[in-house]
Chain A
Amino acid sequence: MTFDNWLPLLILLTSLLPGIVIFVLPEERVRWRTTLNMGGAILKLGLIGIMIWGVRHEHVYDFRMPILPNIELVLNADAMSVMMTALSGVLWFLTTLYAIAYLETSPQSRSRFFGFFSLCVSSTVGIALAGNLITFIMFYEMLTLTTYPLVVFRGTPESMRAGRIYIAYTFGGGAAFLIGVAWLKALVGSVAFTEGGMLAPYVGAYATQLRFIFFLMISGLGVKAALVPLHGWLPKAMVAPAPVSALLHAVAVVKAGAFGIVRVVYDVYGIEFSGELGLLQPLTAAAAFTIIYGSVRALFQDELKKRLAFSTVSQVSYIALGVGILGPIATIGGIVHLVNQGLMKITLFFCAGNFAETLGVHHISHMNGIGRRMPWTMAAFTLGSLGMIGVPPMAGFISKWYLGTGGLTAGKPWVIAILVASSLLNAAYFLPIIYRAWFREPAGSWSARPSIGALETHWMLLFPPLITALLALLAGLLADAPFSPLEWARLITAREYRP
């Protein structure tokens, strides 16, 4: 086996091995733990860089291992996997930095936290690199298992309740997904991801069964992707510490679900075949409904993290919407939103965490004048919110533009209506926050800044949101540059629609 074969596995191992070691590390070995964490993250980024370059030049990175009599565990790097892996890698690095500072004062075991954290990222990378549905489902379930301890990390009764709801939803979804995959395998024999889909030849005999299987699989994936009505776990999971919410909502869990939907529609069924079977309309309808529903619910939340949670519910469905509309432009829009939403949302959650950790502020009604006390954090928050609303030149604008254009060219003008409505709703629930923060007088008094010239909060809490906000800005400004998310999405779509 050459290096090309080992590379996907190595990328997986750079977080898996440190994770296992961190578990057995005694609590006091802070330096060891930090070294392992950061070392693993940097190594992973390096390997991902190699992979990006390679896939761009049509290298094949493939790792196979037989796991069942006629099924293999396949780790494969195509353009889509690379994009998702890169997103995970970069955001893991930043979140680790953030989490180290955030959990300074936590009484619970940090070894356990970072151990599960690393395993969680390994699962996400595994999902990204999966080359067939079996591998995908293995890492998908592993993701649920490794995120549960993070959700219930604080150990309070609400955390436990949130954990129970989380398990109920995600295992139910996983069961539906498993039946779908097993059924497909029994029917068709192969469950590999192939560019352009591989089920088209089977339309004659199995059309109805394929429709059922699609429904099962999308339901299973829809739980993690928070499609209404399967989204119930997401707002409850906000009791987790901010780094967990950041990771769950920007990278790991919701993206895994959305990514799965992309994979199933493009690489298992094939986009044109899905259209033929009439599967896209229900998907688009569900996505559209979720977009509006999420935004409306967000309007009525006073707790900042809950508002962001419902915003996530809404925003992730943009990806499903892009998938559901037949046509390359919409596809580009959906896929690039995977990255853009990730960057913007993680910024918002980092900032929310900062407000909670440094000033004890959890509710929007208490956020008056917070911009004066923590200007940099609030600036990042503002950039993120503007991106969510879709204001150019933030990255969010790019996604919405492509989705809208795609909807028009596919003959579905109502998509524009949904997008406009959603942007207005976004504005309705983000702009007031920004206004309060910058232009209102604070109600009580917060602890003053340590001294003039000192940072408003710990540097490891401050820099990550600034970096991600900057990246979100650059992803929009430099969208036409090579290696930007947009460029990459174009590449993926080109390969997807290849005749």
Chain B
Amino acid sequence: MSLNELLQPMTLPAWIVSLPLLAAVFTFVFPRIRIWAGIFTAIITPLMVVFLGREILAHGAIQMQVGGWQTPLGIQLYADGLSVAMLGITAIVIGCITFYARCYFTGDVSSRYFWPLWMFLWSALNALFLSGDIFNLYVTLELLGLSAVALVALSQTADALSAAMRYLLVSLTGSLSYLMGVALLYAANGTLSIKLLATTGAASPSIATAFALMAAGLIMKSALFPMHFWLPPAHANAPAPVSAVLSALVVKASFYILMRLWLVIFEPFINPSTAQLMGVLGAGAIIWGSVQALVAERLKLLVAYSTVAQIGYLFLIFPLSSITQSNHTAWQGGFYFVLSHACAKSAVFLAAGSVIYSFGHDRIKELHGIVRRMPVSMFAFALASVSLIGLPPSGGFIAKWLYLNAALTGGHWWWCVLIIIGSLLATAYVFRFFSRAFSYSPEVVEERPVPWIMEWTALGLALCALILGFIAPAVTTLLDAGNPF
């Protein structure tokens, strides 16, 4: 291919996947340039995503065969509005966290291995969102899982290592289950391409089993209650940038796959009570996660349980979308949750990381009056919490509103009550931390000064969550581009 051909917008998907991959390899082979390579990627990749987005808004979905090999043996990359939205949020979140990580890991031995793994993670996420066939999704899921596990184990403490091991075992089990589902689906329909699977297919026991297996695997990887047990230790013990990306993006990736498959392939063939079951599990997640967050003693643990609760909100998409009049609204609400939660949760983890960096610990009982000591981080935490609770003006509020609208249009008031209870519980556990943070304490505590980049990236991400509250029409237009729904 000539240089001109290489730079066509059609090839953007391939670049978006390859650039972080190349960066990963480079940073592993040449450790000295690791930071610059990372930052370079962090700047260029979002730009590419923006170009891709413009392309899709103008011309609809884009399809690309990697290397010119045709399906079914070749890999197909497919980008519509939904993929671009996910790519975009990934780029924003990982981009910001890259700058944070640069300061967080300075002088640390683990910094040497952080950068290659970080780039692998990013590449895996991009590839996942751009995949057009179900087997490629398996490969990217595995790549994602392995990089995430290695990142969790980075600090090499006993707790981190056990948490990483647990995560790895769960992840592998989930992937195997998913792969079995892929095998069944292929045996039944003879194709791997998602688009083709959408048109072929009929209800049959193998389809139902395939869905059950794939869903089980993906639910384990998304940490939906009651399969959430691996998440709190992993997120609480990983370094802050890693926790941020885990909560914000990695668990969302498997959820994204589940949603795509449900939407495109499975929905007509599966018993509607499955959707209700997922909603009930989601409700369990919201309640259980919030309650555990209320009693958590460490800040990062509180935030990790908050993730468990928020994932419950995501799974409410399934029952809400089965209400025919609100189908579209429910999908928009669910994905708005994904987008705003990604920004808000990463902001919160980064702020928590700054707290640990400064004070050496995150035991909530001892964090008196830190509003005065770290105003920027606390402000970031507050703004992000506004989105997590679902208060206006924020992305979280828009998402909550869309859900409420969807539920009420169908008259399903019980989901409304659940959503509101979730918000009130979130308020409770957020303010549990905040009342300590605001209280006045004259005691002198040792603290390390936090580099301004760390505090301001957290604030930047929190502002993104806030801004999402104002640009809803634009975002929903993007989500609809290429007709994923």
Contact = CB atoms under 8 A, between A and B. Distances in A.
Direct contact of A and B (CB under 8 A): yes
A138 B393 contact: yes
Contacts of B42: none
A145 B473 contact: no
Interface in A164-206: 164, 167, 171-172, 174-175, 178-179, 182-183, 185-187
Contacts of B375: 23, 112
A178 B405 contact: no
Contact of B392 (A137, A157, A163): A137
Contacts of A138: 392-393, 397
B47 to A, nearest CB: 27
B435 A66 contact: no
Interface in B341-381: 369, 371-372, 375, 379
Interface in A127-162: 137-138, 141-142, 145, 149, 152, 154-157, 159-160
A422 B473 CA distance: 51
Nearest to A72: B473
Contacts of B469: 67
A168 B340 CA distance: 25
A155 B401 contact: no
B405 A182 contact: yes
Nearest to A186: B408
B409 A142 contact: no
B438 A160 contact: yes
B410 to A, nearest CB: 9
Interface in B437-451: 438-441
Interface in B406-446: 408-409, 416, 420, 423-424, 427, 431, 435, 438-441
A23 B376 CA distance: 10
B391 A145 contact: yes
A145 B397 CA distance: 14
Contact of A155 (B369, B393, B402, B470): B369
A68 interface: yes
Given A109-B372, A137-B392, A66 B438 contact: no
Contacts of A109: 372
B162 interface: no
A108 interface: yes
Nearest to A172: B424
A179 to B, nearest CB: 6
A322 B332 CA distance: 43
A178 B435 contact: no
A138 B396 CA distance: 12
Given A68-B472, A171-B424, A178-B404, A156 B416 contact: no
Contacts of A66: 472-473
B431 A167 contact: yes
B383 to A, nearest CB: 10
Contacts of B431: 164, 167
Contact of A160 (B393, B420, B435): B435
A476 B401 CA distance: 45
Nearest to B473: A66
Given A69-B476, A183-B408, A178 B420 contact: yes
Interface string B305-321: 00000000000000000
Interface in B282-303: none
Given A171-B424, A182-B416, A152 B386 contact: no
B438 A152 contact: yes
B399 to A, nearest CB: 11
A164 B435 contact: yes
Interface centre among A68, A167, A171, A179 (most CB of B within 10 A): A68
A149 B379 CA distance: 12
B420 A155 contact: no
A50 B282 CA distance: 52
Nearest to B411: A186
Contact of B391 (A141, A152, A155, A163): A141
A152 B379 CA distance: 16
Contacts of B170: none
Given A175-B424, A179-B416, A182-B416, A149 B439 contact: no
Contacts of A67: 393, 398, 469-470, 472-473
A68 B473 contact: yes
Contacts of A112: 371, 375
A137 B392 CA distance: 8
Contacts of A178: 404, 420
A152 B368 CA distance: 13
A160 B435 CA distance: 6
Nearest to B409: A186
A164 B401 CA distance: 25
A468 B371 CA distance: 35
A306 B142 CA distance: 63
A154 B472 contact: no
A58 to B, nearest CB: 31
Contacts of B439: 152, 155-157, 159-160
B398 A68 contact: yes
B272 to A, nearest CB: 21
Nearest to A154: B440
Interface centre among A138, A157, A171, A178 (most CB of B within 10 A): A178
A427 B97 CA distance: 63
A171 B389 CA distance: 10
B473 A69 contact: yes
Contacts of A152: 435, 438-439
A472 B416 CA distance: 45
A369 to B, nearest CB: 34
B256 to A, nearest CB: 22
B472 A69 contact: yes
Nearest to A151: B438
Interface string B103-120: 000000000000000000
A175 B379 CA distance: 23
A145 B440 contact: no
Nearest to B432: A164
Nearest to A140: B392
Interface string A59-77: 0000001111100000000
B121 to A, nearest CB: 33
Interface string B446-485: 0000000000000000000000011011001000000000
A156 B440 contact: yes
Nearest to B472: A68
B393 A142 contact: yes
A163 B435 CA distance: 8
Contacts of A154: 440
A186 B438 contact: no
Contacts of A187: 408
Interface in A12-67: 23, 65-67
Given A152-B435, A163-B435, A182 B424 contact: no
A159 B396 CA distance: 29
Nearest to A141: B391
A155 B473 contact: no
B341 to A, nearest CB: 18
Contacts of A108: 372, 440
B390 to A, nearest CB: 9
Contacts of A185: 405, 408
Interface string A98-125: 0000000000110010000000000000
A411 to B, nearest CB: 38
A185 B404 CA distance: 10
Contacts of B420: 175, 178-179
Contact of B404 (A149, A160, A179): A179
A155 B437 CA distance: 9
Given A157-B439, A160-B435, A175 B392 contact: no
Interface string A450-480: 0000000000000000000000000000000
Given A164-B431, A171-B427, 13 more contacts: A23-B379, A68-B472, A109-B372, A112-B375, A141-B391, A152-B435, A155-B438, A160-B435, A163-B438, A171-B424, A178-B404, A182-B408, A183-B408
| The 3 nearest A-B residue pairs measured at CB | A155-B440, A186-B408, A138-B392
7 contacts: A69-B472, A138-B393, A145-B391, A163-B435, A171-B423, A179-B404, A186-B409
